[in-house]
Amino acid sequence: MVHIRDMAEHMDMHLAEQIQGDHSAKDPPTSPSNMGVSGLIDKARVLLETSLAQGVTQQAFLADPSVMFFQSDKTDRGWGCGYRNIQMMLSYVVGQTEPAATTASTSATADNNIPTIPELQRQLEYAWTTGFDEQGAGQLGHKVKDTQKWIGTTEAWSVLSSLGVRCSILDFHMPSGPNGTHPAMFAAVYNYFCSPDWSPLSAPWSIRVDDLQRQNGNDSRIVQTAKPPLYMQHQGHSRTIVGIEILKEDRGMNLLVFDPGRWLHNAIPTLKREAISQSFSPSSGSKAVVAADKKLDAQYLLKAFRLQVVSGVAKTQYQLLGISGLYNEDKDHATESGSKPDSSHRSPSLQLFSRHTSLSVGWTEEEHENSKSVTSTRVP
């Protein structure tokens, strides 16, 4: 498994020092927890399959199961959501930089591979010193370490890009539907998860999910993809999108999210299929346990993941950030004479995560330098 800190070493030794910090001194006990929960995508899939059988869910698409859930604790609640979502994005990167492995084999080391919030704060400040997002750095006074300053999409871009993760942003700067709703954002998320595993986040060709469904098929199914998650930002909060759900009988859609500020029922991390009730009634979703068979209610547990963006709830503006590759130096590249070139003249490349070799695209020096300026695509 490639350690996020090792990724930094491939790029710049000073950057690696910034990420690693001084390991002779531990973070104070008031430091936010770095405990992530693995396997939740698999649990969500089991619950959605039950919901499909109950006639509630029509379709659902889920991100790669390697994505971990990082929840805010009492030390960062109210300000740390941006960092928690960056940790979730990086958990995917860690999970993809080695051949496929079981959840059990990867979860033991995953927490140690994900930077803590203090480390992410140091990395963000380092990114600023190297020229990333100068405007955003100025707005935050060039300092976040040991503070409770909120961060957003541009700071996530700076952290991820400075670690070598290629990013793209869609900016939904105004509602695209009636009553302040955002059908264009739902269409973008649906299109993203329906597209081939390494198709990057992009503006949808239609803002109507119905149009996209006709192209992709609207048959009943739960699809496990290998897609990276999406970072979603709105005023005051951010979440990690790990999928999308289409409900039957024109009952709308739900984003499926890992929300660092949301309560997670203690039955979910260890959930077994046989512990879930298959029955459904008008009261489903009101209590965790179904009275008839004393089993867990799938509709109730799915509340941990479902997010509606409807009239009266939707925010005015949203931003989505997606990741599509990992910057690294091509260590094995050789000159025509067979000798390895001087590393000081080696062009960076965007190496493919080893599980998904179709994403291998070049990243020139100019592109790498341009990544320091945050850019976005406005939709619609």
* Domain residue extents for the chain: 4-328+339-378
Q: Which residues contact 160 (CB under 8 A, 6 or more apart)?
A: 86, 89, 90, 167, 321, 323
Asked whether residue 336 carries a pLDDT value surpassing 80, the answer given is no
According to the model, what pLDDT value does residue 16 have? Answer: 34
Q: Is 350 helix (H, G, I), strand (E, B) or coil?
A: strand
Query: What Å distances lie between residue 356 and 93, 98, 227, CA to CA?
Result: 12, 10, 10
| 205 — pLDDT class (breaks 50, 70, 90) | confident
**What integer is the mean pLDDT of 142-164?**
95
CA–CA separation, 333 vs 230, rounded Å? Answer: 32
Q: According to the per-residue pLDDT averaged within each range, which of 7-11, 69-73, 206-210, 369-373 is highest?
A: 69-73
**What integer is the mean pLDDT of 112-139?**
93
According to the model, what pLDDT value does residue 360 have? Answer: 39
Asked whether residue 346 carries a pLDDT value surpassing 80, the answer given is no
CA–CA separation, 176 vs 181, rounded Å? Answer: 6
| 352 — pLDDT class (breaks 50, 70, 90) | very low
Of 76-90, 197-211, 236-250, 295-309, where does mean pLDDT reach its minimum?
197-211
Of 109-113, 175-179, 240-244, where does mean pLDDT reach its minimum?
109-113
| 112 — pLDDT class (breaks 50, 70, 90) | low
According to the model, what pLDDT value does residue 15 have? Answer: 34
Residue 31's identity, in one-letter code, is S
Query: What Å distances lie between residue 222 and 153, 283, 322, CA to CA?
Result: 29, 24, 22
Asked whether residue 150 carries a pLDDT value surpassing 60, the answer given is yes
CB 72 within 8 A of CB 213: no
According to the model, what pLDDT value does residue 330 have? Answer: 45
Asked whether residue 269 carries a pLDDT value surpassing 60, the answer given is yes
**4-328+339-378 belongs to which CATH class?**
alpha beta
Strand partners, 234: 237
According to the model, what pLDDT value does residue 327 have? Answer: 62
Beta strands in 273-347 (DSSP E): 306-307, 318-329
| 190 — pLDDT class (breaks 50, 70, 90) | very high
Of 90-104, 173-187, 245-259, 343-357, where does mean pLDDT reach its minimum?
343-357
Of 27-31, 212-216, 305-309, where does mean pLDDT reach its minimum?
27-31
The Cβ-side half-sphere exposure at 305, using a 13 Å CA radius, reads 27
Cis status, amide bond into 183, omega within 30 of 0: no
Q: According to the per-residue pLDDT averaged within each range, which of 81-85, 93-97, 261-265 is highest?
A: 81-85
Strand partners, 254: 245
CA–CA separation, 45 vs 149, rounded Å? Answer: 35
Q: What b/e readout covers 161-190, taking b as 16+ CB neighbours within 10 angstroms?
A: bbbbbbbbbbbbeebbbeebbbbbbbbbbb
Which has the higher per-residue pLDDT, 271 or 198? Answer: 271
Q: Is 278 helix (H, G, I), strand (E, B) or coil?
A: coil
According to the model, what pLDDT value does residue 325 have? Answer: 73
Q: What b/e readout covers 291-309, taking b as 16+ CB neighbours within 10 angstroms?
A: eeeeebbbbbbbebbbbeb
**What integer is the mean pLDDT of 39-57?**
97
Strand partners, 70: 36
| 174 — pLDDT class (breaks 50, 70, 90) | very high
Closest CA to 187 of 220, 211, 218, 169: 211
CA–CA separation, 214 vs 246, rounded Å? Answer: 13
CA–CA separation, 357 vs 256, rounded Å? Answer: 27
**Over the chain, what is the mean pLDDT?**
81
Asked whether residue 365 carries a pLDDT value surpassing 80, the answer given is no
39: left (phi over 0), alpha (psi -120 to 50) or beta: left
According to the model, what pLDDT value does residue 160 have? Answer: 93
Asked whether residue 172 carries a pLDDT value surpassing 50, the answer given is yes
Closest CA to 322 of 257, 227, 258: 227
According to the model, what pLDDT value does residue 21 have? Answer: 36
According to the model, what pLDDT value does residue 378 have? Answer: 95
Q: What is the dihedral of CA 41, 44, 46, 48, to 10 degrees?
A: -130
| 28 — pLDDT class (breaks 50, 70, 90) | very low
CA–CA separation, 261 vs 247, rounded Å? Answer: 25
